[in-house]
Structure 1
Amino acid sequence: MTDTNVLLIVLDAVRADHLSCYGYEHETTPAIDRLAANGVRFEHAFSTSNWTGAAHGSLFTGYLPSKSGIYGDSQKLPEDIPTLAELLSEAGYRTFATSAGAHIRSDRGYDRGFDKFHETFRIRPNHHYLRQFIKNSALRKQTWQTLVHGHDNYTTFKFENLKEWIKSSEDPFFAFINCKTAHHRYNPPRPYKSMFGPDVNRPRWEFAELLQRRLGKEPQSVDGFDMDRLTAMSRQYPVIADEFNPSDNEWEIIKTWYDGAIRYMDDQLADLLSFLRSAGKMDDTLVIVTADHGDLFGEHDLEKHQYSLLDKLLHIPLVMSPPSDRRETISNMVSFVDLFPTILDITNAEVPDRPNATTLTPLTDRVFHDYLFAEVGRKSPEPVQRAYPSFTESEYNGPVQSIRDKRYKLVRSPNSIRRLCDWRQDPKETSDLSDELSTVRERLEQELEESVKSMDDSILNDDIDDDRLKQHLKDLGYR
C-alpha cells in the first residue's frame, strides 16, 4: 500500500464539451482547468451508460452493466462482487462517501466498504434535522446556502462534511463525492444562474422565492422569454413528448443555466482544493475529476439523459492531478470503468480481473483499448408521462448497446436497428454509414456479440417506501 490519498469527484450530468479546458467558449471550470494544466487530461473519455445508476455500477464493480446486471429492474450491487470501496478498505484505506441520494444509496449496497456514507436525500426538515443542525456545521452552512443563495443539491454539505472528516481521519484516505448541482432542473444558486446569459429576474433571497412558489406564483422571469416554456424545458420532457419545439435562443438560455451550475461546482471544488493545500494534504493526494454522463439540449430531438447513447451523453471529462509532477494530454480513448482498476493500481490494492476495464497507469498516452462499450437498459416512460400523459414510447428507448473502435461507433437498438458513425469526424452523429461501410458495421457487430452480454427488456420499477427518497426522485425528474 502506498501513502497516496485519492479524492474522486463525479460531476453528475456534466458533458465534456461544456468545460473550458475541453475548448468551451465560456470559462465554466477555472479550477479544473488549473488541475488539467498541471496534471493529466484525457481528451476522449467515455461513460459506460447514459445515467447515474448504471454508470456508477460500473465504477464500483469494474464491470459493464450487462455483466454486473446493474440495469433495468436490477440496481443493487451484486453481493458476490467486491466493490471499489471494499477493496480499498481491505488495503488499509479510510473511506468516505456522500451519495447523490437518488441512485447511489445504502439499500443498493453502495455503502459497502465506506467508513462514512452520507445520503443527502435523508436531509429533510423534522425533529432530527434540528438536532443535526445544532451539532453539524456542514448542515448549518448548507441551510444558510439554501435559504439565502439557493439550493445547490447539497454540494455545500458534501464538501463541508468531507473537510471535517479529513481533519479527523488518518491517511491514507479514499473520498468519493457525487455533485448534482448541474442535474436538471438547472437552477443553480445566485448569482450563477445569470453568470453566462441574460439576467434571471428573481427575489434577492431564496426564502422569498420559496414563499412565492408556495403561494402559487412563478418567482423567476427572463425578459423577452416565456418562463413557462423555459421551466418546462428545464424540468420536464416537452421535446421528447413532442409538446413543442424550442427555439435555438431558448436552448441557449437553458445551456447558460447549466453552465452556471457547472461553474458553481467548480468554485466549490476550488475551495476544497485550497483546504487540502492548507491542511498539507495536496502533495499526497491523487485528485480525479470526472462525470458519469452528460445531458442533451435538443440534439436529435432529445433532452436531458432519458434516452439514447449519443456521444453528447457519453463523452465525459476526465482530469487527474497526481501527487507526482506530470503534465500530459492523453488522446487515446478510455472508459469510465477504467477508474476501478486505476484507483486500485495506484493504491497498491488488490486489482481483480475485469475484461473491459484496464488501468490507466502509468499516466502516459498509449492505446488502452481496441474497443469501448456503453449500455443502457429499457427505461420507463413514466418521467415523461407525468407532465405529458399522452406520451407512449420513444424510438430511442433501450435496451441499447454501443461499441466503438478508434474511429467508428456502432449503436445497436431494439428491433435490430443499427447505426454506424465516424465519431471522430462526425461528433454530432448526423450521418449513418451503416450501408456505406457495411464491412465496418459487420466487424463491430460481431465484436459486440462476442464481447458483451445481451440485455433483457426489464424496466426499472423502484418500489420505494421512504417518503424522503420519493420526494428526492421527484425533485430530480425521475418521478
Structure 2
Amino acid sequence: MRRQLNILALACLSLSGCSQPADRPNIVVIVLDTVRRDATGLEANEHWGENTPHLDRLAGESTRFTRAFSAAPWTVPSHASMFTGQLPSEHGCTFTNTKLSGEVETMAELLAAEGYATAAFFSNPWLTDRATGLLRGFETRREAVIGGLGKLTSARGDQGGHETVANVAEWLDQRPDGKPFLLFVNFLEAHLPYDPPDHYRASHLGDLAPDEVVSIQRGHEINAGAGDLDTAELESIRRLYCGDVNHADRMLSRLLRELKLRDVFADSVVVVTSDHGENLGEYGLIDHQFSVEESLLAVPLVVRAPAYMAAGERSDLVMTTDIFATVLEVAGVSHGARLHSVSLTAAPDEPELRSVIGEYAGPSAALGEVLTALNPEREIEVLLAPRRTLRMGELRLTAVGGAPPMLHDMAEDPDQRRDIAADHGDLAHRLEVLLQASSAETGGRPVEDSSVEPSSLDEETRRQLEALGYVR
C-alpha cells in the first residue's frame, strides 16, 4: 500500500494543483449534518441562492463530487456506513438496533492502531457512546449539549456549533506532539427546528415574522397530513432551512480558520460531506424519514487532498461509504475489502458500471404512533415500509416494502413522476437482481422491520432525541 501511495504521489505531481504528500497526513472529516446537496454551491440551482460560500470556496481548491450519495437517509446508519464502508444491511444499524457491532472495524479503530491520534467533536446525541457506539476508536470524544439541542438556552440558530469549534481548538492545542491525527467533526446546525440566527434573518428574511420557525411538531403534522401545506408555507420552510444551512457553513469556516491558525490545514486531507439531506415538502414530507428519494440521499462531498487528488470536478457516481477506503488509503493503512467502499483518489476507468445504493429499514414505532395520533385517517403503512434504492447512471430503481419496484429515468424525469418499470421490464428486473445481490454478495444482514423501539437509550439521550423529533 505504501508503494502504491508513492507511485500515486509521483503521478499526481504532474497534475495541476498537486504537491508532495506528507508521510502520514492529518485527516479531517467534517459532516454538515442534514445538508442536502442542492442547497450548496456544488449543484447549480438559482432557486436555492448562495447558502454555502465557505464550502464553495473550499470546493474550488479541492476535488468536488457532483453526484455523491449517502447510503441511508438518517444519522445512525449513514454515519455507520461512513465509518465502516458498509451498507446498512451489512453493519446492521437501524432504529431496531442502534448499536454498532463490535465485530465491525471502524475507520478510527484502524487508524488508532497505526499510531494516529483520534478525536471526535459533535452535538448530535445519536453519536454518543450511550446511544450507538459509532465513535468507537476515537480516543477523545466531546459532546456539546446546548439546551437539550432545542435551541432554548443557546443563541438563536446555534445547535452546539460554537462550543464544538471551541472544543476542537482546545484539543488542537493539547494534542500529542509528533503524531498524525484523525479529526471528526459533526455540525448539527441545519437540523430541525429551522431557526436561523438573527443576523441572517435581518439580511435575508426581513419579510418573515421575527419569531417564525419550523418546529419539530410542525414537521410531524406535515408528515401526518394534518392541516394544509400551501405554497407560501413551503417557501418559508425552504428559506428558513437555507438560513440554517448558511449557519452550518459559517461553523465550517470557523473550524477551518482554527486549523489554519495552527498551521495544520495546508498539509491535511480535509473531507466535507453530509450524512443525509432533508425533505422540504417533497412527497408531502418534512425532515429525513419515510423516504430514500434523492432529496435525502444526494449530499455534498468535497475532498481536499492536494498530494493525492487533483482539484477539479468529478461527476462519477460515488457514495459516502467511499470515505472509509479513501481515508485509509491516504493514511497508508490496510483493511479488509469492502464491496461498497472504493477509494476516490483516482477516477474509475468505467464509471458507467458503478451503482450506488441507499437503504432505509423504516422509522421507529414511536414515529408511526405520532403520525397516527395526529391524523388517524392517514394510511401510514407505506410510510413505515422498508425501502431500498439503486442508481446506475441515470436509471434509478426503488423498492418499497413488498410492492413491485419502480424505475425512473433521472435525466428525463428528475422528480420521479413517471414509473417506467412496465415499459422496460427486462431492465427493471436486472437492476432488481443487482439490488438484491448487494447484500447477498457481502453476507449482509437483511433490512429489518421497524417494530422495535431504539435499544438501550438512557433518559438524557431519549430527551435529546425527542427534542430532535426522533423518539416520543
Per the normalisation by structure 2, the TM-score is: 0.86
Which of 326, 336, 342 is equivalent to 2:326? 342
> What code does the residue aligned with 1:192 have?
Y
Instruction: Give the aligned CA root-mean-square deviation in angstroms.
Output: 2.5
Three-state SS of the structure 2 residue aligned to 1:254 is helix
Residues 320 and 467 (structure 1), Cα distance of their counterparts in 2 relative to 1, 3 Å cut: same
> Is 1:20 the equivalent of 2:20?
no
Aligned to 1:302: 285
Question: 1:65-80 maps to which residues of 2 (within 5 A)?
Answer: 65-80=88-103
C-alpha distance in structure 1 between counterparts of 2:371 and 2:439, whole Å: 36
**Mean Cα displacement is larger for which, 366-375 or 252-261?**
366-375
Residues 12 and 359 (structure 1), Cα distance of their counterparts in 2 relative to 1, 3 Å cut: same
1:428 offset after TM fit, Å? Answer: 1.6
C-alpha distance in structure 2 between counterparts of 1:301 and 1:151, whole Å: 25
Is the 1:328–1:364 Cα contact (8 Å) retained in structure 2?
A: no
Is the 1:40–1:327 Cα contact (8 Å) retained in structure 2?
A: yes
> Is 1:112 the equivalent of 2:154?
no
Question: 1:73-112 maps to which residues of 2 (within 5 A)?
Answer: 73-107=96-130, 108-112=132-136
> What code does the residue aligned with 2:280 have?
F
Is the 1:282–1:323 Cα contact (8 Å) retained in structure 2?
A: no
> What code does the residue aligned with 1:51 have?
W
> Is 1:162 the equivalent of 2:145?
no
Residues 424 and 146 (structure 1), Cα distance of their counterparts in 2 relative to 1, 3 Å cut: same
Aligned to 2:238: 255
> What code does the residue aligned with 2:184 have?
F
Residues 115 and 383 (structure 1), Cα distance of their counterparts in 2 relative to 1, 3 Å cut: same
**Mean Cα displacement is larger for which, 157-166 or 233-242?**
233-242
C-alpha distance in structure 2 between counterparts of 1:8 and 1:290, whole Å: 8
Aligned to 1:183: 191
Is the 1:15–1:291 Cα contact (8 Å) retained in structure 2?
A: yes
Three-state SS of the structure 1 residue aligned to 2:30 is strand
C-alpha distance in structure 2 between counterparts of 1:63 and 1:243, whole Å: 37
C-alpha distance in structure 2 between counterparts of 1:147 and 1:243, whole Å: 30
Is the 2:219–2:286 Cα contact (8 Å) retained in structure 1?
A: no
Question: 1:285-434 maps to which residues of 2 (within 5 A)?
Answer: 285-324=268-307, 326-362=310-346, 367=351, 370-383=354-367, 385-386=369-370, 389=373, 390=376, 393-434=380-421
1:382 offset after TM fit, Å? Answer: 2.5
> What code does the residue aligned with 1:305 have?
H
Residues 194 and 254 (structure 1), Cα distance of their counterparts in 2 relative to 1, 3 Å cut: farther
1:17 offset after TM fit, Å? Answer: 0.3
C-alpha distance in structure 1 between counterparts of 2:77 and 2:452, whole Å: 11
Is the 2:62–2:303 Cα contact (8 Å) retained in structure 1?
A: yes
Residues 387 and 48 (structure 1), Cα distance of their counterparts in 2 relative to 1, 3 Å cut: closer
Aligned to 2:16: none
> Is 1:435 the equivalent of 2:422?
yes
Three-state SS of the structure 1 residue aligned to 2:224 is coil
C-alpha distance in structure 2 between counterparts of 1:148 and 1:73, whole Å: 32
Percent identity between the two aligned chains = 29
Gaps of 5+ in 2: 3-22, 441-445
Aligned to 1:196: 204
Per the normalisation by structure 1, the TM-score is: 0.84
> What code does the residue aligned with 1:96 have?
A
Three-state SS of the structure 2 residue aligned to 1:79 is coil
C-alpha distance in structure 1 between counterparts of 2:402 and 2:354, whole Å: 27
C-alpha distance in structure 2 between counterparts of 1:282 and 1:457, whole Å: 44
Is the 1:17–1:23 Cα contact (8 Å) retained in structure 2?
A: yes
Three-state SS of the structure 1 residue aligned to 2:413 is coil
Is the 1:40–1:319 Cα contact (8 Å) retained in structure 2?
A: yes
Residues 440 and 194 (structure 1), Cα distance of their counterparts in 2 relative to 1, 3 Å cut: farther
Three-state SS of the structure 1 residue aligned to 2:260 is helix
Gaps of 5+ in 1: 126-141, 203-219, 222-229
Residues 240 and 293 (structure 1), Cα distance of their counterparts in 2 relative to 1, 3 Å cut: same
Residues 459 and 166 (structure 1), Cα distance of their counterparts in 2 relative to 1, 3 Å cut: farther
Is the 1:195–1:260 Cα contact (8 Å) retained in structure 2?
A: no
**Mean Cα displacement is larger for which, 378-387 or 294-303?**
378-387
